[in-house]
Structure 1
Amino acid sequence: MENKERIWFITGVSGGLGRALAQEVAAAGDIVIGSLRKEEQREAFEKLLPGKTFGVLLDVNDQSQISSVVEDAVARFGRIDVLVNNAGYGLFGAIEEVSMEEARQQMETNFFGPLALTQAVLPHMRNKKNGCIVQISSQAGFRSNPGMGLYNASKFALEGFSEALALETAELGIKVIIVEPGPFRTSWAGDSSKTAETKIDAYTSTAGALTETIKGYAGKQPNDPAKGARAIITAVNSENPPLRLPLGKEAIEAIRRKLKSVEENVNSWEDVAADTAF
């Protein structure tokens, strides 16, 4: 193995943005260790680009597996240069509709799984004083929508610890990138998503309407996963990567609307909010 080859560990490469990223990384000459949950998926991934794509069985919800899988990867390849926490899913439902079990499962997959993988990889990157951690968040990790509150919460939490991580590792040679995709043509809004079992008629025109809209454009989203993957690679390759990388015009516009709304809110209530000193 030549030193110029970087080792990427990408979770959730069976499809969607994770698969597209794995393909683009391998085509560019780097090595990809991709996590999957089924043996037949693992075998298919290894045939994707033989000698460049290597599959490992891992369910990010089973945190007892994570340390051993990471240690095995480092033992085999010598290091992990780039960790991409991509595995996750969307949960639709108004806040009142979502059960505690559904909420906890969302947080396990979208927050605790990436947290555990990040913690497992950090000692190896620290020792080498080099590395990049890419957190696949969402435009929904920066601003909320009705019907996606628990998905929002999981991605807000991911972004919160990742911001702190970037400050903690800035002097250790470890970069952090939070990727915030808008609508990409993947199965995220279709088969990969889950919907709360409970339905409450009072939320039909708010949470329910948005859920139907999102599910309605599954397979017709405006953005190309391959182009999104190449944007991520460009950011990872840059000398000064961004902390946040929104992907797609829709994500950029959504984030700007949120920033404008926050500024207007702070300005309009500043006199009241600031009048708190002794």
Structure 2
Amino acid sequence: MTTWLITGASSGLGAALARAVAERGDNVVATARDVTKVQALVDEHPDTALAMALDVTDHDQITHVITAALDRFGAVDVVVNNAGHGYRAAVEEAIDSDVEELFATNFFGPIDVIQQILPHMRSRRSGTIINVSSIGAVVSNPGSGHYTATKTALEGVSDALNREVSPLGIRVMAVEPGAFRTDFAGRSLTQSATAIADYSETAGRRRKENDHSHGTQPGDPAKAAKVIIDIVDRDQLPFRLLLGPDAVRVARDELHERLAELEAFAPVSSTTDFTANSN
């Protein structure tokens, strides 16, 4: 039986994944800042589910959750770093304290979880770490620069981590979801207190009061959860897993544009090596 530890399991993709894991008979440690929001899952699956309070910015809470998971189930096979939130602001509008809290939650929190679970996984020469990123790590929209910076940073660390731990039998996967029908835009999205008029037609269009996408997103979190579980069951994982046809389209278009730009500037980019006549 596989044991999953999922952060941010109270809503959205995290909640759908925790439920799907429990319903197929696996063990699940479902965490959330407000533990009451994941208690129902334990009530339905008392033998295989454990609800734990976790703020991923709290190092001691992470330690407590991992210790409790190991005490209860003996091992943690899959860790899903899903906890996080969005932030809307033009780069100039962002408040330092907002950005510090955003990175603490979306980047440094998952890193702390990873660092604390790795000794256990290394000792077993087994384990899977899934870091939930965003299609925004591929293309960043106006107003989302700081949010996507956290996800780009998480993917960069994940890439290095994958190369470090794969020889030890540990797998790493970054998940890049497109738009899914969750309460992300309502509950999990914050923004700068001040809006600058010059950005009204760029970042301003994506501020919460102007964003009417909530409830119309194409993605189904339950289907995304099933895909993640099915992929984890395979012998080999992709390093990056796109979720949603919108994510596939965005990534494909961006890669085509990057390749075209690379080729267009390759002649000048390739002129920087030392030559016999270099001074």
TM-score range, shorter chain: over 0.9
1:73-132 per-position Cα deviation (integer Å, ceiling 9, x unaligned): 112211100000000111011100111111111101100010000111111111101110
2:101 matched residue in structure 1:
105
2:141 matched residue in structure 1:
145
8 A Cα contact 1:36 1:42, kept in partner? yes
| Aligned counterpart for 2:75 among listed residues 75, 79, 82 | 79
1:63 matched residue in structure 2:
59
Q: Alpha-carbon deviation of 1:44?
A: 2.7
Q: Return the alpha-carbon distance in structure 1 between the equivalents of residues 9 and 210 of structure 2.
A: 23
TM-score, normalised to structure 1, is 0.95
Mean Cα displacement is larger for which, 144-153 or 73-82? 73-82
2:186 is paired with a residue whose SS is coil
1:140 is paired with a residue whose SS is helix
Mean Cα displacement is larger for which, 42-51 or 181-190? 42-51
Q: Return the alpha-carbon distance in structure 1 between the equivalents of residues 11 and 38 of structure 2.
A: 12
Identity of aligned residues (%): 42
Q: Return the alpha-carbon distance in structure 1 between the equivalents of residues 230 and 38 of structure 2.
A: 27
Correspondence 1:1-278 to 2 at 5 A:
5-211=1-207, 215-278=211-274
8 A Cα contact 1:89 1:188, kept in partner? yes
2:277 matched residue in structure 1:
none
Q: Alpha-carbon deviation of 1:212?
A: 5.5
Counterpart of 1:149 in structure 2: which amino acid?
G
Q: Alpha-carbon deviation of 1:42?
A: 4.3
Q: Return the alpha-carbon distance in structure 2 between the equivalents of residues 217 and 273 of structure 1.
A: 41
Change in CA separation of 1:16 and 1:29 when aligned onto 2, cut-off 3 Å: same
Counterpart of 2:145 in structure 1: which amino acid?
G
Q: Alpha-carbon deviation of 1:274?
A: 1.1
Unaligned regions of 5+ residues in structure 1, if any? none
Change in CA separation of 1:186 and 1:42 when aligned onto 2, cut-off 3 Å: closer
2:201 is paired with a residue whose SS is helix
8 A Cα contact 1:25 1:31, kept in partner? yes
Q: Return the alpha-carbon distance in structure 2 between the equivalents of residues 6 and 122 of structure 1.
A: 17
Q: Return the alpha-carbon distance in structure 2 between the equivalents of residues 41 and 179 of structure 1.
A: 24
Q: Alpha-carbon deviation of 1:213?
A: 9.1
Runs of 4+ in 1 over 4 A off after TM superposition: none
1:118-173 per-position Cα deviation (integer Å, ceiling 9, x unaligned): 11111111110111001111101222111100011000000000011110011111
Number of equivalences: 274
